[in-house]
Each structure stands twice: as C-alpha cells, then as structure tokens.
Chain A
Amino acid sequence: MLKITDLHASINGTEILKGLSLEINAGEVHAIMGPNGAGKSTLASVIAGKEDYEVTSGTITFEDQDLLELSIEERAREGLFLAFQYPVEIPGVSNVNFLKTAINEIREHKDLAALSAKDFLRLVKEKSSLVDLDASLASRAVNEGFSGGEKKRNEIFQMAMLEPKLAVLDETDSGLDIDALRIVAGGVNALKSKENATLVITHYQRLLDYIIPDFVHVLYDGKIVKTGGKELALELEEKGYDWIKTAE
C-alpha cells in the first residue's frame, strides 16, 4: 500500500530524514518509535504533504501512485489520513460542516454522489459513539474549547467518518490520560480491517498495549535502524533509546 524508499527530507535547509525506507501492506499495523528529534513527526508531515518540508531525494508510492506528485488534498482523497499531534482549533467553522464538506469532496473525487443530510447525520451518530464523543461536540466549532482528550477523540472521529485506507497517527497518545487513551485506541481498533492499514507514531510503548502492532520500527537520526515484532517495543521501554544509539 505504502512504499517509502531511501527518503531524504529537510526543513529550512536542515536534513531531518536521511534515507528512510518503509513498506506497509493492507491489513497491517506498523509502529514507529524513536527518541525526540529522530524525525517521527517529519515523516508524518512529509507523507501528508506539508509544504514546509522539502523532499530532496527518494520516493513514496501509495497504491502504486507517486505520492509526492499529489497535493495535500489529493492525498487525503486517495485515502490517506493524518491524525494530528496538535489538532488545530478553527473558530467559526463547525465540526459537522467541515466534515460534510470533506466527505463530499472525497466522494466527488471518487465519482460518488454527495451524501444526503439524513445519511450524513446517521453516520455522525454512529461514528461519534465509536469514540464516545458527545454529539454536541460534533456541532461545535472545530476543536474550539475542546479538552486535550476531546481533540484526540475528535481526530479519530474524523478518521472514522472519512474511512481512509492508510491512517497515520502522529503521537496520538501525547497528553492523554489512561481512560482517553483506551477510548482512542478502541476507536482505532474498531476501524481496523483487511483493506486498511495503520501507522502509529509514538514515543512511548504505552499506546502499543492497546493498539497491537504487527511491526515495530525504531527511527533514529532520520533512518529506521531496527525493525521487529511487538516485543521490540517492550525491549525499548525497558532499555531506553540509548541502547539503540550505542548499538549503532
């Protein structure tokens, strides 16, 4: 589904990703772990198409398309979803209105008719219950006045509404208490299928108690330096990242 080959990316002339390769297939859950500054969030941003980052070499293909040729919105319409580490507050734009626009733009891209108001509301009801998001939050301005946990649940709610092929969760566990973490992870697990895939980016092993990965990769200094099964996360938790640094 996603194939990253020897990716180099920089911001303001500073190289952050230095030859990263990664392959994700449908039905798989991958976790990327790594110390602060390793390039985890840069990877998420580059996949989503954030324009602040410059890809200097390497390739990313998504469903056999050259992802780097697509605009931010085209990537989303093709089935890519980024759950933000710091969800943005947008005063004056209602959550529901924005999601309706997003869904219908994606549907138009797939030559599907726009969703009726009735079907849309039914979908909102069904998906908001998945992450225990109060229906009143759905109609408020995007993330405005939401607590940290509500913002993250709102991200997963959007993911549920848009049904992406590949979801990239960027530090979704940051700032979450254990109950919120359980709800968010429960939402992600409920959305898992044979057709889609998930890339979990995290600093701590904790989230991986709830979202069980098939593969764990360690990102260090812009490259993936180690890949293993879910037990690698536990090993990292026990030994810390210094173990990887010295092993290199």
Chain B
Amino acid sequence: MSGTLIDFCKQLEPTQLKLPNALLQAARAGVEFQHHFPTTRDEAWKYTRLGRVAALKLSPVNINQSANPLPSSDTIDIIFENETWYCAEPITGLHIDFSAALETTAWNACSIQGHVQHINALTAQGGVAIRVDANTTITKPIRIIHRIQGEHTGLILHHQFVLGNHASAQLEVFFEGKSQDTYANVLFDFFIGVGADLHTDMLQQTNGTHYGFHTQRIYQQKDSTFALQTLTANTHFTRNDVEVFSQEEGTHTQLYGAFIGTENNHIDNHTYVHHTAPNCTSDENYKGVLSDKATGVFNGKVKVYQDAQKINAYQSNKNILLSDSATINAKPELEIYADDVKCSHGSTTGQLDQQALFFLRARGISASKATDMLIKGFMAEIVGAVKSIHIQEALHTLLD
C-alpha cells in the first residue's frame, strides 16, 4: 500500500482557511485514525479504487488574487486560471470574497466526514465566499470557472455560498482544462436561507489524467429551493459527493445528473439526502451513457428521519451501456423511519433501443447519427433542466 493520508497531506500546504478548531481537530483525528486511503472494502468506495490517487506525487498550487477586475459579461465571472483568481466587479447585494472571509457562524452547522473532507479541511489553499443579501434577486448568473492545468499539482479549494432569506440566484460552475496527474479536491458549502432559491449547474469536463473529487454540502432552511445539475463528460476520474440536509419544513431539492464516459473514464456519483423535517420534497434523476471501458457508479441514498412526515422523495437512475466492456454499478438506497411518506426509487441499465435505432435508420438516418439522436433524447430530461446557456451549448457540442 502506498502513502498514508498524512503523507498525502504533507505534500500539500497546511490550510490557509480559518476553520474552527474543533473541525480542524476532527479532520486531524480522522486522517490519523483512518491512516490509509479507503479500500474497496469500505462501502463508500466499493467501486472506486484510490490506489492511483494515493500514489500521486503532488505539489501545492499557490493561489493569488488578481487586483484587476474582469470585464463585464453576460455572467458575473469568477475565474481560476494559472494559480490566480480573477473576479468581476461586485454588484449591490452580492458579496464575493476570497478564502479568509468564510463565515464562521455558518460553520457551526457543519460536520466533517470521510477522507476527502478531511484532506480538504487540512490542506485547502483558498476558495470563494459568495454571499447574497436577504430579499435580493441576482438576475445575472454567477459563473465560477476552474481551469485545471499543469502536472502533478494538487488544488484544494473550499467554497462557500450563503443565500440570504428570500434571496435567489443562479450559479454555473465549470471544471475544465488539460492536465496530467493532477488532483483537485473542491468542496462547496451551500447555505440556503428561508424561502431562498438557488439553481446550480455544474459541468465537469477536464482533459488528461486529472483526479477530481467534488463535494457539495447543502443546508436548506424553511421553504427553500435548491436545484443542482451535475454534468460530467469524458473525465478521467471523477467522484461527486452531494449531501443535502433538509433541516426545516417546506424545502424542495432537485438533484439531476448526467454522465458520459468513454475510454477508461471512471465517474462516480454519490448522493445523500437527509430529510429531517416534515413536508419536504426531493427529486433525483441521474442518467449515464458509458462506452469503451468506462465505468460509472451511482449510489443515491435518501434517509427520512423519524417525525419527518409527508415527505415526497423520488429517485431515478437510468444507464445505457454502449459496449460490452463498459460497466455501471448502481445502488439506490432508501432508509425510512417515518410512516406517512411517499418515496420511490429505481435503477435501470440497458443498451440502446434497437427498435428505435432501426426506425430512425429506416427513415434514412445513418446508424451513427441515429445513435447520437437516441443518446441526446435519453439525456434530454437532464439537459432540459440546465439553465446555464454556456453549459447547454457545451452539451449540444458534446452530444451532436
């Protein structure tokens, strides 16, 4: 077995973020106790091997912030490129700060679990803190772009998005660039205030041997709405962990995802929705298309706590395998401790509909174009939920 978690963290710098001591201690205790990277004997990593990640030789990314604001565009841009953050000029009601400005009050709600979050807590070099004032609607989408480049670098970021009561915003997040043997561990904490509404579209489309670990933790207050579309396209290695804490009544959560894997891609989506309050809804829909020797993992968990009555929780996962060597490991999970709830889950995996393919070809459409049309049709539900014009364009290019 290669390096320990402590050795792995030592390659990187100690965190620059001002985390509460209790969290730092928990993270330190975590890596010391766990010692090594988890193996496939660990339920959360059953289908995702971390040997290559543990063996990565990394140096930290030194993060700067550009003094010059980005020019105005149709989105409020925050761009990370060549170790530098570039940011658009602030607007009324929207506050964008870097690293040190993380709101410590929000931290009280957080716990920290698993080696990915432990590494993040101990070595995060920075991140963006975005805050939207209460009763404020930010009409322009906020766009965060991460351009991951270089070789043997480790980029550890911790972002925070605080949406005030009755505020609303739209966020677009990109992971792109070409790199070799790089590691990224990027964590988002979303705090969604009472009656607030956040729509987030995320596109992961990195080239080269990049190992991307993405964690999103969402804390929802009363009557808030949160929607996340996670789109992963042809990435070498991606692990997504989305964890939703529906803490008060009347929340709505939408988690949609589409993943496309080719060659030796490995794309792993884990979601966990905690319904601790009554009268809430969650809607989860993940779709995957895998070809060549690509592997996909879907593990979706919904837990309805005792007294969280009148919950409507839906979960669906559908996959298409385009080759004999492609693999999907799907595991939908429901854990229910309340008695008056409506929950459903299901997962299907199959091949392209041969009848539909024959039909399209019998109308004069070539086999390859017909295949593309069917895949696009299969993904339409997810792509249709994306609001970001930039991501829609990227997906159309990808699927055409």
Contact = CB atoms under 8 A, between A and B. Distances in A.
Nearest to A109: B364
A48 to B, nearest CB: 5
30 contacts: A48-B358, A49-B361, A49-B362, A72-B358, A72-B361, A73-B365, A76-B361, A76-B362, A81-B362, A82-B362, A84-B359, A84-B362, A88-B353, A88-B355, A88-B359, A90-B353, A90-B360, A90-B374, A91-B377, A92-B379, A93-B377, A98-B363, A98-B373, A99-B363, A101-B365, A101-B373, A102-B360, A102-B363, A105-B364, A162-B364
A93 B353 contact: no
B378 interface: yes
State the main secondary structure of chain B at its contact with A. helix
A97 B365 CA distance: 12
A202 interface: no
B323 interface: no
- By Cβ-Cβ distance, the 8 closest A-B pairs, closest first, are A92-B377, A92-B380, A76-B364, A93-B377, A72-B361, A102-B363, A88-B359, A106-B364
A226 B376 CA distance: 47
A77 interface: yes
Nearest to A102: B363
B362 A48 contact: yes
B366 interface: yes
Interface of A: 48-51, 71-73, 75-77, 81-82, 84, 87-88, 90-93, 97-99, 101-103, 105-106, 109, 141, 158, 162
Nearest to B383: A92
B112 interface: no
Contact of B366 (A75, A103, A105, A158): A105
A92 B358 contact: no
Contact of B363 (A97, A141, A158): A158
A92 B374 CA distance: 8
A106 B380 CA distance: 25
Given A48-B362, A71-B367, A81-B362, 19 more contacts: A72-B358, A72-B362, A73-B365, A73-B366, A77-B364, A84-B359, A88-B355, A90-B359, A90-B377, A92-B379, A93-B374, A93-B377, A98-B360, A101-B373, A102-B363, A102-B364, A105-B369, A141-B377, A162-B364
Interface residues of B, number: 23
A58 B11 CA distance: 72
Nearest to B377: A92
Nearest to B372: A101
Nearest to A86: B355
B333 interface: no
A51 B362 CA distance: 12
B29 interface: no
A102 to B, nearest CB: 4
Contacts of A101: 365, 369, 373
B319 to A, nearest CB: 15
Contacts of B292: none
A90 B356 contact: yes
B103 interface: no
A77 B356 CA distance: 18
B381 interface: yes
Contacts of A72: 358, 361-362, 367
Nearest to B373: A93
Contacts of B353: 88, 90
Contacts, number: 78
A77 B360 CA distance: 12
Contacts of B370: 73
Interface in B95-149: none
Contacts of A87: 359
Contacts of B379: 92
A63 to B, nearest CB: 15
A93 B363 CA distance: 14
A141 B355 CA distance: 16
A236 to B, nearest CB: 29
B356 A88 contact: yes
A91 B362 CA distance: 18
Given A73-B367, A105-B369, A92 B381 contact: yes
Contacts of B378: 91-92
B287 to A, nearest CB: 10
A88 B377 CA distance: 14
A91 B380 contact: yes
Nearest to A83: B362
A97 B360 CA distance: 12
A73 B363 CA distance: 7
Interface string B379-392: 11100000000000
B210 to A, nearest CB: 30
Nearest to A45: B358
Contacts of B381: 92
Contacts of A103: 364
A105 B359 contact: no
Interface in B40-75: none
Contacts of B365: 73, 98, 101-102, 105
A102 B364 CA distance: 5
Most buried by A among B356, B359, B360, B379: B359
Contacts of A141: 377
A92 B376 contact: yes
A99 B367 CA distance: 15
A158 B370 CA distance: 16
Nearest to A158: B363
B398 to A, nearest CB: 15
A51 B374 CA distance: 19
A248 B348 CA distance: 50
A48 B358 CA distance: 9
A84 B356 CA distance: 11
B363 A76 contact: yes
A244 B370 CA distance: 42
A8 B71 CA distance: 71
Nearest to B370: A73
